[in-house]
Amino acid sequence: MTLIGHEDAWREWREGIAGERMHHAWLLAGPTGLGKTAFALAAARELVAEGGVPQPDGPHPDVLILTNPPKDDKEEKKREAGQDYELARNIKIDQIRAMQRRLSTRPTLGSRRVVIVDPADDLETGGANALLKSLEEPPVGTFFMLVAHRPARLLPTIRSRCRVLRFSPLDDDAVTSFLALMAPEVDGAARAAAVAAAAGSPGAALAFVVQNLGPLDALMRRIVTEGDAQFTLRGRLAEEIGARPDRTRIAAALDLARANLAQLAQHAPREGLPAIVEAHADLMRLAAQAPTYNFDPGLLVMQIGGLLASAATASQRADA
């Protein structure tokens, strides 16, 4: 597990542990790819550990993790076989109820137990309402950590019962250090390109090199620089993403497009900023919808390219 940065979050968390009354629910909020899950796992193990009690190196019996399950029985068999498998869109109410049954027993190794919900903004409605009941009346010694990329999607009543830990993008040096640890085989030029495209997200930087997003990034940079009046670059963008991209690649493409617009905004004339901001907001909406909506991949890619091209056109017009 690689933990880099977020010193403020660690300080606030450890002050909470040291206090007389540890808050029972924490909301880890921030964009994807910042390391919130790794933080939650490390912090949870730190909380449940007790002096003189040996702690397991692998999964911990007192750290319960609820995340998106396999999509169906076929995908479950793939997981059991150690193969890649497709995730369901939501965390199910049955998972919450199974967790609640576990909470009726005592922790296994000590006096504390942690429930991690990751990502909490993927809870289906029934699951969110069921979780709320546990947050309202938590068993003694039970603590909750909710990882949220889009906390506004959570029920206000859930947010109100949580202490918020905010995670911000890391600086380029931290992202570079992360890549050096996680992908030491990557050369300096590719690493620099990944850091520039990641906009402070170590997860996005790693996806950039693992998924070979360099050619995709180069096309997006051309679109936001030159525009795409003849739709030629958008066609090449669709070819580069692939005819049947999985959700991980689509999410990476959306993150990359947003990063390119953010960089464009830094140098665009003031008159062009409103259109760039609007295109960025549209990409944010697409990113929020993509995990749950049944988009046609080809149309989605063309929509991404169209937003990049519209921002480029506005910037060029303002600069004329």
Residue-range domain boundaries for the chain: 7-166, 211-319
What pLDDT tens digit does each residue of the chain (320 aa) get? 556 778 899 999 999 988 888 899 999 999 888 999 999 999 999 999 998 999 999 999 999 999 999 988 998 998 888 888 888 889 999 999 999 999 999 999 999 999 999 999 999 999 999 999 999 999 999 999 999 998 998 999 999 999 999 999 999 999 999 999 898 998 888 888 888 888 888 988 998 888 888 899 999 999 998 999 899 999 999 999 888 887 778 888 888 898 888 888 888 788 878 888 999 889 888 887 776 667 788 888 889 999 999 888 766 665 54
The answer to whether the CB of 115 falls within 8 A of the CB of 64 is: yes
Kindly state the helix (H) or strand (E) to which residue 236 belongs, with its residue range. Answer: helix 232-241
Query: What is the pLDDT at residue 293?
Result: 67
Classify domain 7-166 by CATH architecture.
3-Layer(aba) Sandwich (3.40)
pTM: 0.79
Whats the size of the chain, residue-wise?
Answer: 320
- Six-digit token pair at 101? 């049954």
Query: What is the pLDDT at residue 4?
Result: 74
The answer to whether the CB of 130 falls within 8 A of the CB of 103 is: no
* Cα–Cα separations (whole angstroms), residue 160 to 2, 78, 128, 135, 274: 30, 38, 13, 10, 33
